[in-house]
Amino acid sequence: MAILTKEEAKAIIDKVLSYAKADETEVTISGGRTGNIRYARNTVNTSGETNEIGLSITSVYGKKSGSTTINELDDESLKKAVARAEEIAKLAPENPEYMPMLGPQNYGESKTFVSSTDAIDPDYRAQVAIDSIKPCEENNLTAAGYLEDFSGFVATGNSKGLFGYNQSTSVDFTVTVRTADGTGSGYAGKDFNDVNLLKSGPVTNIAVQKAKASVNAQAIEPGKYTVILEPMAANDLLRLMAFGMDARNADEGRSFLSKRGGGTKLGEKLFDERVNIYSDPNHPDIPSAPWSGDGLPMEKTTWVENGVVKNMYYSRYWAEKQGVQPVPRPRGMIFEGGDESLLDMIRNTERGVLVTRFWYIRSVDPQTLLYTGLTRDGTFYIENGQIKFPVKNFRFNESPIIMLNNIEAMGKPERTNGNMVPPMKIRDFTFTSLSDAV
């Protein structure tokens, strides 16, 4: 049984804690089922399902900590595991940054578990592949796709009385559709907690349309262009910035949030005033677990308000050292948008490039958050409010900081890879070379 109820998990955790002799002990049990199906060249390559349960114990003496993990939950195995963690802890070097374990916390209820996703079986996965491959075969196109689903739980408790339990589900589907002659390629993907929201046929159809429309792309000169980034493309760059807002790096002078002469850019206006970024574990579209990696309750947090940096992540250690409250790192970000639809943005564009997604994004300069990467699977030239023709893919060199100062318009945010991101129209986006890749 890979999923334990709250009561079952608590009973095991309490039992482990009763065996413990260390100064502090923490026990985490997690388990679940991960399933997947992968297809390419219009045929299924691999499919599988893994059911796993694991229990990890961290024992601490002073500032010395040791961990172990086991899969067997009988009393004898649990006793041995506690002894082993304690042995490892005694031999470990001191960690000067160790923070004492937290006492009881108030974790809210989460909406991360959906029973429909929990009910996914191999037949469902096969059907997703069939529904995706069939329209491609009928159109002389080639599909390659991947579905991964998860249903599981995590429970944690420690010798200071902390206890938390959460169940979650997720499903992630992506598909690449290529024309038989290799001159056109399209991509689409969706991720949800609730599999009922996933319609793999229509998602595939978006990739089909993009593949067909991208055939025989024309080369246009690289340079600075107004771009319309679909949410997937916008997310590719924005998430790199939003998840890099660590206070310690900023305080240490090695972050885009470090300030010349010392200090940080907290409280400064870094972006266009329309930029608002927050996280919320109870957001209906991207619910997340009620506690963070260091055990603190997750709360709604504003990161950027009207273009001003309002918060950075503070670990418990760094917060104490700096004399501030810790701010946990969130799991999903909400980038607020605007009113324009993607279609409106295209209609209102005199000359620009529509980007489906980016690929192979790598940091070029962490000082300025300059990134490079390429467009992929559906890049189109817009003129006088209409998509005119597909264009060859571009390499870009751009910083999301600069991007968020060049906003022309934003649309309604959509869930994309666990974040809520709007389509965005950005001026002066820097394309530095052309690629022949399709």
Partner 1 sequence: MKRRDFIHLSGLGLGAMMVPGLVAHSKPIEEAQLMSPGIDVAAKKLLADVALNTTKSLGATYTDVRIGRYLQQFLFTREKNVQGITNAESFGVGIRVIANGTWGFSATSDVTPDGIKKCAETAVAIAKANSKLQKEPVQLAPVESYGEVSWKTPIQKNAMEIPVKDKIDLLLSVNNAALDNGAAFVNSALFMVNEQKYFASTDGSYIDQDVHRIWPNFTVTAVDREKGLFRSRQALSAPMGMGYEYLDGLESEKIMNPAGFNSYRNSYDMVEDAIAAANHAKEKLSAKSVMPGKYDLMLDPDHLGLTIHESVGHPLELDRVLGYEANYAGTSFATLDKWETKDFQYGSDKVNIVADKIQPNSLGYVGWDDEGVKTKEWDLIKNGKLVNYQAIRDQAKIIGEKESHGCCYADNWSSVQFQRMANVSLKPGSEKMSAHDMIKDIEKGIYILGRGSYSIDQQRYNFQFGGQVFYEIKNGEIAGMLEDVAYQSNTQEFWNSCSAICDKDDYKLFGTFFDGKGQPSQASAVSHGSSTTRFDGVNVINTGRSI
Asked if 167 touches partner 1 (CB under 8 A), the answer is no
Give the contact letters, 28-67, x = binds to partner 1 (CB under 8 A), - = no: x-x-x-x-x-x-xx-xxxxxx-x-x-x-x-x-x----x-x
Residues 235, 414: Cα–Cα separation, whole Å: 10
Contacts of 83 (CB under 8 A, 6+ apart): none
Q: CA 207, 210, 216, 217 torsion: positive or negative?
A: negative
Q: Rounded CA gap, 297 and 288, in Å?
A: 11
Q: Show contacts with partner 1 in window 99-128 (CB under 8 A).
A: 101, 112, 122, 126
Residue number with CB closer to partner 1 (36 or 348): 36
How many CB atoms are located within 10 Å of the residue 383 CB? 12
> Of the listed pieces 150-158, 224-232, 299-307, 348-356, which binds partner 1 according to CB under 8 A?
150-158
Q: Which is nearer to partner 1, 213 or 364 (CB)?
A: 364
Here's the x/- map for partner 1, 251-270, by CB under 8 A: it reads as -xxx-x-xxxxx-------x
* Region class of 198: left (phi > 0), else alpha (psi between -120 and 50), else beta: beta
Helices (H), 60-188: 75-91, 115-118, 122-138
**Nearest CA-CA partner of 74 in 155, 15, 158:** 15
Selected from 293, 302, 343, 351, the binder of partner 1 by CB under 8 A is 293
Question: Is position 182 an interface residue for partner 1 (rule: CB under 8 A)?
Answer: yes
Kindly state whether residue 374 participates in binding partner 1, applying the rule CB under 8 A: yes
Is 71 one of the binding residues for partner 1 (CB under 8 A)? Answer: yes
Q: Which 190-229 positions form the footprint of partner 1 (CB under 8 A)?
A: 193
Interaction between residue 158 and partner 1 (CB under 8 A) = yes
Q: Which is nearer to partner 1, 309 or 345 (CB)?
A: 309
- Binding flag, residue 142, partner 1 (CB under 8 A): yes
In the list 4, 13, 22, 68, the residue contacting partner 1 (rule: CB under 8 A) is: 68
Is 426 in contact with 409 (CB distance < 8 Å)? no
Contact (Cβ atoms closer than 8 angstroms) between residue 105 and residue 162 = yes
Nearest-approach distance from CB 160 to partner 1, in angstroms: 12
Pairing state between β 301-305 and 351-365: unpaired
Asked if 307 touches partner 1 (CB under 8 A), the answer is: no
Stretch that binds partner 1, among 140-148, 212-220, 229-237, 341-349 (CB under 8 A): 140-148
Q: Which DSSP string corresponds to 356-389?
A: EEEEEEEEEETTTTEEEEEEEEEEEEEETTEEEE
Which residue of 5, 196, 306, 367 would you call a contact of partner 1, by CB under 8 A? 367
Among 213, 308, 361, 387, binds partner 1 (CB under 8 A): 361
Interface residue with partner 1 among 14, 75, 87, 339 (CB under 8 A) is 87
Q: Which residues contact 214 (CB under 8 A, 6 or more apart)?
A: 184, 185, 186, 377, 378, 379, 380, 390, 438
What minimum distance in Å lies between the beta carbon of 139 and partner 1? 16
Nearer residue to partner 1 within complex by CB, 153 or 278: 153
Establish if 139 lies at the interface with partner 1 (CB under 8 A). Answer: no
Nearest residue to 361 (alpha-carbon basis) of 399, 327, 408: 399
